[in-house]
Amino acid sequence: MSLLRNLMAGLRALFHKKQVEQEMDEELRSYLDAAVKEKMRSGMSDEQALRAARVEMGSMEAVKEEIRSAGWESSIESLWQDIRYGLRQLSRSPGFTVVVALSLALGIGANTAIFSLIDAVMLKTLPVRDPDQLVFLNRTGQTSSDMAPVNSDNGSENEAPFSYPTFEEFRVRNQAFSKLFGFVSLGKANINIDGQANLVEGELVTGDYFSGLGVSPILGRLVTSEDAKPNAPRAAVISYGYWSDQFGHNPAAVGKGITVNGVPFTIVGVTPPEFFGVQPGRAVDVWVPLVEEAKLLPYGMNSTPGDRPLFTSRDWWWLIIMGRLKPGVTEQQATPQLDVLFHQSLTAGLKTPPKPGGNLHIRFEPTANGLALLRQKFSKPLWILMTIVGVVLLIACANVATLLVARSTARQKEIVVRLSLGASRARLIRQLLTESVLLGGFGGALGLLFAYWGSHALVLLMSSGGEPFSVNVQPDAQVLGFTAAVSVVTGILFGLAPALRSTRVDLTPALKAGAGCVSGVSQQTRLGSGRSLVVAQVALSSVLLVGAGLFVRTLENLENQNLGFDQDHLLLFGIDPAKNGYKGERLNDFCGRLLTRLQALPGVSSATMSEMTLVSDIQNHWPISIEGRKPEPGQDMGVDWNNVGPSFFETMGIRLLLGRGVEWSDTASSPRVAVINEVFTRRFLDGQNPLGHRFRLEHLFTGGSPVYEIVGMVQDAKYASLRKAPLPTIYIPYSQTPVLPWAMHFEVRTASDPLAMVPTVRRVVRDLDPNLPLADVKTQTEQIAETLVQERLFAQLSSFFGGLAVLLACIGLYGLMAYAVTRRTGEIGIRMALGAERRDILRLVMVEILAIVALGVAIGIPAALAAARCIRSMLYGLKAADPLTVTLSALVMVMVAVLSGYLPARRASRVDPMVALRYE
Amino acid sequence: MADKASDLVQGTLDMLILKTLALEPLHGYGISLRIEQISKGVFRVNPGSLFPAFRRLERAGWIKPEWRPTENNRRAKYYVLTDRGRKQLKAETAQWGRQLAAIARIMEAS
């Protein structure tokens, strides 16, 4: 209450200043009047009374000032004064202000941009009710091979699926959760609206998914547990983004019929725009209830083998479970209970009871920020980028501090005068800091603009890879707070040292000195502090240069290596016939017919197909055993495996070394054959002639382990990734594969631009089946480039920031040397008068520059080597302490620095001794 | 003889103003005069201390200003003790009494 009154009165004093001042005047006048009257009453004359009263009152202004400073608003007023004074000072040197604000804006903007990505990926909470109550079920401990979870390879350590029966038992019998729900990705689902087929991210969800998350629809309703009942009408929910893309925000979308992978659904509602599902970065467009009867299969499974039905089998682990804890229930209370249920569920499912002391336990992962898929993948790169831009900002600070030190010379006179008029040092430091924080504020405001642009550009760059990367980088309170904090801290960081230094003066000599030469601060300390700032800049810049060099060379190594196949003029596209009901024989038949058509197209020199395209980051990896050979103990018998069509090696340009490739004559009924690569022969067959050897694929879910005879050997070629050296690889004719491929891809080698062939290819596919959408249409070169997105991003960004850092350091060095040369004009004049040659002067200055740079590099290189160890895992084809990179970086640093120091040095050598001597 | 408010025990000026206003509303000079008269000239409060104190007390809600005509029909700012001010005066008086007694005990102890 009294706080409020105080606030209001203060505000009134601030905003109705005139009125408050008038009242104050009037009150004091009436006081004076009354005093005069009183004194006259006691017998003084008019004049005497007035004098006496005035003496008693003292200075009217001083009294007013006392009154003003009794309220809190006075400190605001003095701050406002400081700000206005600071603004006047800054506007007096616009060039300085602009340069400083711009370089700070670059630094702060870069930091804000990276931080807003970190915020979006790692810090933002899900837009759901009470996200802190949400947990995600994980398990610790080993699963025995009998319980091998299927589809658990979703790229994240703390995202573990469970079997459907386990989920049901948890859901019905647990006491800890108010809601327990599950979901699983459908992958790219084939959605058909009014005959238009397209592929979007789909998700299968249990009935309580939306009510458990606490999401409310923006239109219509969301999927409920009623929709998950066996005979309920099929209901689908679409995302806001999909609604605006496909339906242009038309409310009539609700009630519309669509098919999802061929299964009919009715759209019942739209989620709010900020909701993208629970995995940041993987934006879901369509949610459908998980119902057994709908026969929709989770991502990565194209068939349910007869003996393991999806919903009743206890050893298909595929459902990700989340829950909302009841209020007040802690993890410690809930997990033992779930452990019991989990063990009951496990033992119920096993034919042989588990070994005693089974160490499987339930663990909770907090889910407030969503699941960790993206977080894990991008957290390290983002922190590295954050460090890089942090260093850039440090350099910018050091740079601005150098400028401020030089500038404080120009203001020395002002500071000395103010100090001698009685201003306290603290008051002056406050004034100087206000100015530097103002500069930081300008930089921050400008930086926000840069960041807005930069973070969107970054998201674009990062999402140009194969994986979706859709995050919400709209600046929120956290980002704005971050920028504000960084601006203020930056302002203090670069402002404090110069402010402290320039106010530590010895007044008497300073006042005595002439206008041109204020030597209150010792020459040596001033230059010294400038020098160490420049050394710091050079050191930090060399760290960034080494980092940039390592990233650039990594990218080069990846791009210029021998792939083992020919990536030019190759068009890739995928189809997923399984989603349109093609299976077994019909699937083989369809793919065969399509391939024949493609091969016959004019402009196509050859065409083939394979389950996996090369360098797509996806591969089959499977254990085998070779007939007549015992593996050495501990030997890894895993091979990379691809199902390929006829003329695969010819089309891909993989050289056939022995025997034959896959041909049309290899059919489902002909003898099973395989082609292997050189590593296979070296590792498993001791380099003998592989032809005629037979191997067995082990542990197939379909039961059995088919035997293949080796009929050919090809040279090693990269398979899934550019980074991995080729592993033993088997190529099996697509018609002889023991498990249904999860998709088929086609590779078309063209005579001219492969992308010009796309319309023709689309027409051919449409002719065969109008309902089959094409997926991932791109050239092989594009595909390889996509897998290098992160490497390219790092090479580009680190080069950019490295360049920026070097530029800033050079500006700093130039500024310092120019200042030093001006200061030493007299000395140089004397030296020249005493017979020094221009050359000697030039050498004098250049030696000093070299000393500074050498010291900076000498500090920077070891620091860079230490830092490079943290990025070792991101490098390829070179060591963290790559001698070439280090040498080049040091050389570049020295050369650029020497160039920037040359101008002031030359000016020093041109000093006219006569002028210089008169100068003092 | 102390002729400066700063010679007053720290914080007692506020209490003296409140006490003065407890009898009747007064304007600035009236208050200063009353304090001087009652203390028989021991305390003379100068305007540089008096007016900031008014502003403090006003902000705290213990006194409130009122513009009234003076005895010679000029406008002047009178200060009125509020209910909260009365309560505060009571509290400060009690506190003062305790402190005084304590100080007296210490001084007499030797």
Q: Is the same domain home to A397 and A296?
A: no
CA distance A427 to chain B (A): 23
Q: Is the same domain home to A872 and A856?
A: yes
Nearest CA in chain B to A12: B59
Task: Say which residues have a Cβ less than 8 Å from residue A394's Cβ, sequence separation at least 6.
Answer: A536, A540
**A469 vs A207, residue with greater confidence:** A207
In this complex, the residue of B47, B59, B74 whose CB is nearest that of residue A9 is B59
| Positive or negative: CA dihedral A833, A838, A844, A845 | positive
Tens of pLDDT along A574-607?
A: 887 666 667 777 888 889 999 999 999 999 999 9
Torsion angles phi and psi, residue A719, rounded to 5: -110, -85
Tally the domains of chain B. 1
Q: Is the same domain home to A755 and A654?
A: yes
Weakest mean pLDDT among A118-127, A344-353, A422-431, A852-861: A344-353
pLDDT exceeds cutoff 60 at A792: yes
Q: What angle separates helix A94-118 from helix A373-410, to the nearest 10 degrees?
A: 170
Closest-CA residue to A772 (of A579, A534, A584, A558): A579
Length of chain A: 920
pLDDT exceeds cutoff 50 at A153: no
Instruction: Give the end of a domain, one of A71, A88, A105.
Output: A71
- Going by pLDDT thresholds of 50, 70 and 90, the confidence category of residue A609 is very high
**A57 in contact with B, Cβ within 8 Å:** yes
Tally the domains of chain A. 4
Mark yes or no for CB contact A26/B77 under 8 Å: yes
CB A142 within 8 A of CB A359: yes
**A714 burial type by CB count under 10 A (0-12 exposed, 13-18 middle, 19+ buried):** buried
Nearest CA in chain B to A61: B48
Does residue A86 fall inside a structural domain? no
Question: A252 - beta bridge partners?
Answer: none
CA distance A785 to A793: 11
Q: What is the pLDDT of residue A731?
A: 95
Q: What is the pLDDT of residue A864?
A: 93
CB A448 within 8 A of CB A112: yes
Mark yes or no for CB contact A70/B56 under 8 Å: yes
Q: Is the same domain home to A277 and A354?
A: yes
Mark yes or no for CB contact B47/A70 under 8 Å: no
Tokens 């996509």 -> residue: A786
Task: Say which residues have a Cβ less than 8 Å from residue A866's Cβ, sequence separation at least 6.
Answer: none
Residue A849 tokens read as 């520059």
Weakest mean pLDDT among A240-244, A466-470, A561-565, A648-652: A466-470
Does residue A853 fall inside a structural domain? yes
CB A813 within 8 A of CB A901: yes
Closest-CA residue to A135 (of A183, A164, A177, A165): A177
Nearest CA in chain A to B33: A35
CA distance A377 to A504: 51
Residues of A in contact with B55 (CB under 8 A): 67, 70-71
**Pairing state between β A286-289 and A196-205:** parallel
Q: What Å distances lie between residue A76 and A14, A19, A68, A383, CA to CA?
A: 9, 19, 11, 39
Residue A167 tokens read as 């989920």
Hey, of B6, B33, B44, B51, which one would you mutate to test binding to chain A, going by the most A CBs within 10 A of its CB? B51
Q: What is the pLDDT of residue A37?
A: 84
CB A492 within 8 A of CB A433: yes
Instruction: Give the end of a domain, one of A304, A337, A368.
Output: A368
- Report ipTM (2 d.p.): 0.83
Residue A677 tokens read as 């690569």
**Pairing state between β A263-270 and A235-238:** parallel
Q: Which range marks the domain in which residue A589 is found? A: 577-771
CB A544 within 8 A of CB A723: no
CA distance A747 to A651: 8
CA distance A405 to A754: 60
**A584 vs A750, residue with greater confidence:** A750
Nearest CA in chain A to B58: A6
Q: How big is the A-B interface in CB pairs under 8 Å?
A: 75
Q: What is the pLDDT of residue A466?
A: 56
Percentage of chain B beyond pLDDT 90 is: 21
Q: Under an 8 Å CB criterion, which residues of B touch A?
A: 27-30, 32-33, 46-49, 51-56, 58-61, 70, 72, 74-77, 84
Q: DSSP secondary-structure letter at A654?
A: P
- Going by pLDDT thresholds of 50, 70 and 90, the confidence category of residue A308 is low
pLDDT exceeds cutoff 80 at B6: no
Question: How many other C-beta atoms are found inside a 10 Å radius of the C-beta of residue A406?
Answer: 19
Does residue A84 fall inside a structural domain? no
Q: Is the same domain home to A612 and A750?
A: yes
**A67 in contact with B, Cβ within 8 Å:** yes
- Going by pLDDT thresholds of 50, 70 and 90, the confidence category of residue A302 is low
Q: What is the pLDDT of residue A777?
A: 87
Weakest mean pLDDT among A117-121, A397-401, A468-472: A468-472
pLDDT exceeds cutoff 50 at A768: yes
Q: Taking residues B82-99, what's their average pLDDT?
A: 91
**A732 burial type by CB count under 10 A (0-12 exposed, 13-18 middle, 19+ buried):** buried
Task: Say which residues have a Cβ less than 8 Å from residue A58's Cβ, sequence separation at least 6.
Answer: B46, B47, B48
Q: Is the same domain home to A758 and A904?
A: no
Q: What Å distances lie between residue A587 and A304, A705, A744, CA to CA?
A: 16, 22, 10
pLDDT exceeds cutoff 50 at A144: no
Q: Is the same domain home to A238 and A349?
A: yes
Residue A267's H or E segment, with its range, is strand A263-270
- Going by pLDDT thresholds of 50, 70 and 90, the confidence category of residue A470 is low
Weakest mean pLDDT among A275-289, A577-591, A900-914: A577-591
Mark yes or no for CB contact A57/B55 under 8 Å: no
Q: What is the pLDDT of residue A632?
A: 82
pLDDT exceeds cutoff 50 at B2: no
Q: Taking residues A2-26, what's their average pLDDT?
A: 80
CB A615 within 8 A of CB A726: no
Q: What is the pLDDT of residue B13?
A: 87
Question: How many other C-beta atoms are found inside a 10 Å radius of the C-beta of residue A55?
Answer: 8
CA distance A401 to A520: 19
Tokens 């084809």 -> residue: A877
Q: What is the pLDDT of residue A356?
A: 44
Task: Say which residues have a Cβ less than 8 Å from residue A665's Cβ, sequence separation at least 6.
Answer: none
Q: Is the same domain home to A482 and A425?
A: yes
**A352 burial type by CB count under 10 A (0-12 exposed, 13-18 middle, 19+ buried):** exposed
- A163 Cα distance to chain centroid: 33
Residue A340 tokens read as 């019991």
DSSP codes of every residue in A415-458? HHHHHHTT--HHHHHHHHHHHHHHHHHHHHHHHHHHHHHHHHHH
Residue A847 tokens read as 């030696």
Across chain A, mean pLDDT equals 83
CA distance B16 to A603: 105
Tens of pLDDT along A369-380?
A: 666 556 666 778
CB A220 within 8 A of CB A214: no
Hey, of B55, B63, B73, B88, which one would you mutate to test binding to chain A, going by the most A CBs within 10 A of its CB? B55
The CATH number given to whatever domain includes residue B54 is 1.10.10.10
Q: What is the pLDDT of residue A147?
A: 41
Q: Is the same domain home to A363 and A381?
A: no
Q: Which range marks the domain in which residue B75 is found? A: 5-109
Fill in the amino acid letter for B78.
Y
Weakest mean pLDDT among A79-93, A437-451, A467-481, A729-743: A467-481
Residue A275 tokens read as 């909701």
3-class state of residue A184 by DSSP:
strand
CA distance A199 to A197: 7
Q: What is the pLDDT of residue A236?
A: 93
Q: Is A659 left (phi over 0), alpha (psi -120 to 50) or beta?
A: left
Residue A855's H or E segment, with its range, is helix A838-868
Q: What is the pLDDT of residue A808?
A: 85
Mark yes or no for CB contact A34/B60 under 8 Å: no
Q: What is the pLDDT of residue A159?
A: 52
Does residue A186 fall inside a structural domain? yes
- Going by pLDDT thresholds of 50, 70 and 90, the confidence category of residue A306 is very low
Q: Is the same domain home to A738 and A864?
A: no
**A21 in contact with B, Cβ within 8 Å:** no
Weakest mean pLDDT among A512-516, A613-617, B86-90: A512-516
Residues of B in contact with A38 (CB under 8 A): 29, 33
